[in-house]
C-alpha cells in the first residue's frame, strides 16, 4: 500500500469549515483512500472513503484530486467534538492476499493530523 | 447495541508477568485485529484473524500471542518476552479483511502499564 503524507497538526475555529489535506503521490489505480479519526483516549472511528469521485456522508466530505495524488477531508462546520487525530490511509482491497504477512487486510495508520478546534 | 468491548480499560502489571487483554464483539464480524499505539504514534498491527481458529502475525507480533476459538472473541496475551509492553492496545473487527467495503470498528482500548 502506498504512503500518505499529512501535516502534523492543524487548528480551526468552532463552526468554521476545516480542510485536512493528504498527499499520496505514489497512489496506484486500485488504492482506495480511507479516513479515520481518533478522539482522545478512544479507538479510531471510520469517517469516509473514496476511489475517484468526491464523496459525501453525514460526517464529512472527501475531495479527491483529478490525478488522485492528493485528497482533502472537509468538515463543513467544526465542533469541539471534532478535535481528534485524523488519519488518511490508502488501501488496495486486493493487496496482501499473496504478499507477505502483516500487510494483509489491515489498514496502516501513520501519525495523522492532530486537529484542534477553538471555541 | 452492537459493538466491540475491551476490558479492562486500565491494567497494571509487574514486569515479567504475562497478561491477557480481552476483546469481544457482537457484530458478527469474521475478521478481528489487535493494534498497539504508543504516545504520539500511529497504530501498529500485532495480530489479525480472518476466521475462527486462524490468525496471522502482524508487523510487531514478537512477545504477543492470540487465540481465536470463538468468532466473537480474540484475546491478546502480552508475554514477558515483550520488551516494552506499556502501551495503548486497540482491538478492531470488520466483516472481512479491511479494505474496499470493510471498515474497521474499534474498541475503546486497554491502557497497559507495566511497572
| C-beta atoms of B97 and A109 within 8 A | no
Per-residue confidence at A30, pLDDT binned at 50, 70, 90? Answer: confident
The yes-or-no verdict on residue B23 having pLDDT over 80 is yes
pLDDT score at A50: 92
pLDDT score at B1: 61
Q: Number of A:B CB contacts under 8 A?
A: 76
pLDDT score at A19: 98
Residue range A34-48, pLDDT digits in tens? 999 999 989 999 999
Min CA distance, A85 vs chain B (Å)?
Answer: 10
- B54 chain-A contacts, CB cut-off 8 A: none
Min CA distance, A116 vs chain B (Å)?
Answer: 15
C-alpha separations of B111 from A12, A56, A59, B11 in Å:
29, 34, 28, 6
Other CB atoms within 10 Å distance of the CB of residue B65: 17
Per-residue confidence at A105, pLDDT binned at 50, 70, 90? Answer: low
How far apart, in whole angstroms, are the C-alpha atoms of residue A26 and residue B39? 28
The bridge status of strand B110-114 relative to strand B10-13 is: parallel
The yes-or-no verdict on residue B36 having pLDDT over 90 is yes
Other CB atoms within 10 Å distance of the CB of residue A63: 16
Residue range B94-110, pLDDT digits in tens? 886 654 556 889 999 99
- B103 chain-A contacts, CB cut-off 8 A: 34, 46, 49
The yes-or-no verdict on residue A92 having pLDDT over 70 is yes
Q: What is the dihedral of CA B5, B7, B9, B10, to 10 degrees?
A: -160
- CB contact burial B90-99 (16+ within 10 A = b; e otherwise): bbbbbeebbb
C-alpha separations of B114 from A28, B15, B53, B88 in Å:
42, 6, 29, 12
In contact, A114 and A55? CB cutoff 8 Å: no
Nearest to A46 among B59, B100, B104 (CB): B104
Q: Which one of A5, A6, A42, A43 makes the best mutation probe of the B interface by having the most chain B beta carbons within 10 Å?
A: A43
Amino acid at each position: 500500500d502506498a504512503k500518505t503524507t499529512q501535516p502534523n497538526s492543524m487548528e480551526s475555529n468552532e463552526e468554521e469549515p476545516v480542510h485536512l489535506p493528504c498527499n499520496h503521490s505514489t497512489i496506484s489505480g486500485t488504492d482506495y483512500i480511507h479516513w479515520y479519526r481518533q478522539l482522545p483516549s478512544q479507538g479510531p472511528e471510520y469517517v469516509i472513503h473514496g476511489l475517484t469521485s468526491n464523496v459525501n456522508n453525514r460526517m464529512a466530505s472527501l475531495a479527491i484530486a483529478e490525478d488522485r495524488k492528493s485528497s482533502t477531508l472537509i468538515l463543513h462546520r467544526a465542533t469541539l467534538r471534532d478535535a481528534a487525530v485524523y488519519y488518511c490511509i490508502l488501501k488496495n482491497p486486493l493487496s496482501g492476499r499473496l504478499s507477505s504477512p502483516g500487510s494483509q487486510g489491515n489498514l496502516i495508520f501513520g501519525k495523522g493530523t492532530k486537529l484542534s478546534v477553538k471555541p | 447495541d452492537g459493538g466491540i468491548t475491551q476490558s479492562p480499560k486500565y491494567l497494571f502489571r509487574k514486569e515479567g508477568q504475562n497478561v491477557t487483554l480481552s476483546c469481544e464483539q457482537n457484530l458478527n464480524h469474521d475478521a478481528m485485529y489487535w493494534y498497539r499505539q504508543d504516545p504520539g504514534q500511529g497504530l501498529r498491527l500485532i495480530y489479525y484473524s480472518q476466521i475462527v481458529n486462524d490468525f496471522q502475525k502482524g508487523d510487531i507480533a514478537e512477545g504477543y500471542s492470540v487465540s481465536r476459538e470463538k468468532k466473537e472473541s480474540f484475546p491478546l496475551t502480552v508475554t514477558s518476552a515483550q520488551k516494552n509492553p506499556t502501551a495503548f492496545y486497540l482491538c478492531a473487527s470488520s466483516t472481512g479483511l479491511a479494505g474496499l467495503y470493510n471498515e474497521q470498528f474499534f474498541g475503546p482500548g486497554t491502557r497497559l502499564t507495566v511497572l
